Amino acid sequence: MAKLFDIFSKRKIEKKKEKIIVDNRERNSLVVSELMKMGHEIEWRQLAVGDYLVNGVAIERKTVSDFKSSIINKRIISQLLELKQYDKNLLIVEGIIEEDVYSGGIHENAFRGFLLSAALDFNSRIIFTHNASDTAKYIDVLARKKEKGELAIRASKIALTREEQQQFILEGFPNVGAVKARRLLEKFGSLGRIFSASEEELAEILGKRAGEFRELLD
C-alpha cells in the first residue's frame, strides 16, 4: 500500500493547454516565449486588430514608449475604436518598471488627461504591467478563465471619413493642431485651396507660423 501511495502522491496534474491567437508582428516578443513556457499553444495569424486573441478577448499590447508616441501622433484613438469591435477588449501598456510614464515626449498632465478620456469617453480598459513576464501572466490568467467569449467576430481597420483624412493630413504639419486644422478647412473648404492660399491668407489662422507652413508646401 505504501508503494501505491508514493506513486499517486507524486503524480503531477497536467494543466490543460489553452490556444492563444497571436499576431505575426509579435513573433519577437518575449511575451510569447513566456506563454509557451507556461504550456499555452500559440496560433500565429495576421490580425487586423489587436495583438492577441484569448478566451474571447482582444488585446492590444504596447510598450510605454510606444504608448506615449501613439498618443502624440493620435494613432491610439483609431486603435481604441478598432478594439471596440470586440465586446471584450484590453489595452496592455508594458514596462512601467523600466520607464517612467511621466517622462519624455509628453507632458504628465496630457498623459493623465488621455487616460481619463480613454476611460470616460471611449470606455476603454487599460492595464499597466511591469514587463513581458508580467504581461504573460495576465494573459495566462485570462486564458484559463472558464467562461469563454465569442471569437468569431470579423474585425477590420477603421477607414477614416474624407473630412477626417483631410484633418489628419493637416495635423501632420508642425504647429498645426486639431483646432487650427478644423479652422483651415472651414475657411478654405479643401486641401487644394489651403495649399494654394497666400501667406497672408493663412496668417489669419496660423499667425506667425503661416510662413513656415508656406515654405513646407513650396
The CA distance from 86 to 49, in Å, is 9
Residue 91 belongs to some domain of the structure? yes
pLDDT of 60 above 70: yes
Average pLDDT, the chain: 83
The CA distance from 36 to 44, in Å, is 13
Tell me, yes or no, whether 108 and 168 share the same domain. no
pLDDT of 53 above 90: yes
Tell me, yes or no, whether 182 and 123 share the same domain. no
Our count of domains for the chain comes to 2
Tell me, yes or no, whether 119 and 182 share the same domain. no
Tell me, yes or no, whether 206 and 138 share the same domain. no
CB 93 within 8 A of CB 128: yes
Buried b (16+ CB within 10 A) or exposed e, 49-79: bbbbbbbbbbbbbbbbeebbbbbeeeebbbb
Tell me, yes or no, whether 195 and 118 share the same domain. no
Helix (H) or strand (E) holding 110: helix 108-120
Residue 88 belongs to some domain of the structure? yes
Could you tell me the CATH number of the domain that includes residue 190?
A: 1.10.150.20
Domain span including residue 194: 162-217
Tell me, yes or no, whether 73 and 126 share the same domain. yes
Of 110, 143, 176, the domain-final residue:
143
Tell me, yes or no, whether 79 and 177 share the same domain. no
Tell me, yes or no, whether 134 and 208 share the same domain. no
> Whole-prediction pTM value?
0.62
Tell me, yes or no, whether 96 and 138 share the same domain. yes
pLDDT of 9 above 80: no
Tell me, yes or no, whether 107 and 24 share the same domain. yes
Tell me, yes or no, whether 137 and 46 share the same domain. yes
pLDDT reported for residue 213: 87
- Within a 10 A sphere around the Cβ of 124, how many other Cβ atoms? 20
pLDDT reported for residue 7: 47
